[in-house]
Amino acid sequence: MSTLFSPIKLGKLTLPNRIVIAPMCQYSAQDGNAAPWHLMHLGQLALSGAGLLIIEATAVEADGRISARDLGLWSDANEQALASTLAAVRQHSSMPIAIQLAHAGRKASTSVPWEGGTLRPSTAGGWRTWAPSPLPFMHGNEAPLALDDAGLRRVREAFVAAAVRSARLGIDAIEIHAAHGYLLHQFLSPLSNQRDDAYGGSLENRMRFPLEVFDAVRAAFPAERPVGVRVSATDWVKGGWDLEQTAAFAAALKSRGCDFLDVSSGGLSPQQQIALGPGYQVPFAERLKHEVGMPTMAVGLITEARQAETIVTSGQADMVALARGILYDPRWPWHAAAELGAQVEAPPQYWRCQPREHKELFRGAKLG
């Protein structure tokens, strides 16, 4: 039996296997509305045989978009557009679907990656961004506006409203984005949070707003559906956010009913020094899994079936999340199942494509 293809429970949600499709920004929305591209993108991934599909970082307010082309869930129009996309996907796939709710903070207002991905100031087609402190991401960038009490309340309520919309859409789980240098990560790291009020300074204070957002989302989303958090385990910068602080944050999340951690790293500072290599972030997931005792997803240069199998079989993580690798090979779970002697769900329209040497690959396949 392959551990990678064994089921796992996140709260009351059972995933058929431990392969997760990580949220990947597509920069293809119009005013936050899902477009035909999203139907093509999510549709093909929903037929991949993975255990869970997480929709890309979805802005909870317009100012929280990374770019003007980001997906959003702050309006009725956003909700209706995504509802249409999900209805089409669900006609042909029973794969559980989660959504990543996000706010980009000071890393908002950029051009799309294929146009450079650089910050667009408010004087050149962009908008003023928000952050814990008026510190720009890069030297020379327009400084963000520091969130005051009213701003904190506005953002918190925006996360809640997006969680309520997610519930109406039938979303199976929520992942709150507190990684990659976006707003909630900016509150956590002492490099970006230099406030002198109750939301800055000590670790307890820097965790306060992200924990308030988690509590508010958890209360607004149906109790039987899981809520997890994506974290950056380290800033990869001396004096920044690190694994010890992440463990404290994770323990606080667990005490509040968090169902899973998606463990990544970096993204907060252009000064980061990352030691890249296959599975380079897996040790972070392993440490948090064993120290905090919460289901974890490992991410980052996990590309091979036996590599993924080893990660979950050895107990380094409970799940693996694929991003670029599954874009390159949208049938990665099929190929992994064939290599590991396991089975996956596949639509009956595709049953006849099973290779002769893997004729038991698709669960329930019947060919006359």
Please answer whether residues 252 and 208 qualify as being in contact, where contact means their C-beta atoms are separated by less than 8 angstroms: no
Distance (Å, whole) CA 53 – CA 58 = 14
Of the listed 27, 182, 280, 328, which one is catalytic? 182
Please answer whether residues 177 and 187 qualify as being in contact, where contact means their C-beta atoms are separated by less than 8 angstroms: no
Helices 243-255 and 282-292: angle between axes, nearest 10 degrees: 40
Output the CA torsion sign for 347, 351, 354, 358. positive
The CA-to-CA distance between both ends of the chain, in Å, stands at 28
Q: Is 182 a catalytic residue?
A: yes
**What are the Cα distances from residue 361, in Å, to 18, 93, 263, 274?**
17, 17, 30, 38
Q: What are phi and psi of 282, to 5 degrees?
A: -60, -40
In this structure, the chain runs to a length of 368
Please answer whether residues 45 and 53 qualify as being in contact, where contact means their C-beta atoms are separated by less than 8 angstroms: yes
**What are the Cα distances from residue 285, in Å, to 45, 165, 215, 297?**
24, 30, 23, 7
Output the CA torsion sign for 117, 122, 125, 131. positive
Radius of gyration of the chain (CA): 20
Q: Give me 23's structure tokens.
A: 């949220």
**DSSP states along 254-288:** HHTT---EEEE---S-TT------TTTTHHHHHHH
Please answer whether residues 152 and 69 qualify as being in contact, where contact means their C-beta atoms are separated by less than 8 angstroms: no
Q: Which of 80, 134, 130, 70 is nearest to 101 (CA)?
A: 70
Give 15's contacts (C-beta < 8 A, 6+ positions apart). Answer: 7, 8, 9, 51, 52, 96, 319
Q: Give me 289's structure tokens.
A: 């899994």
Catalytic residues, which ones? 182
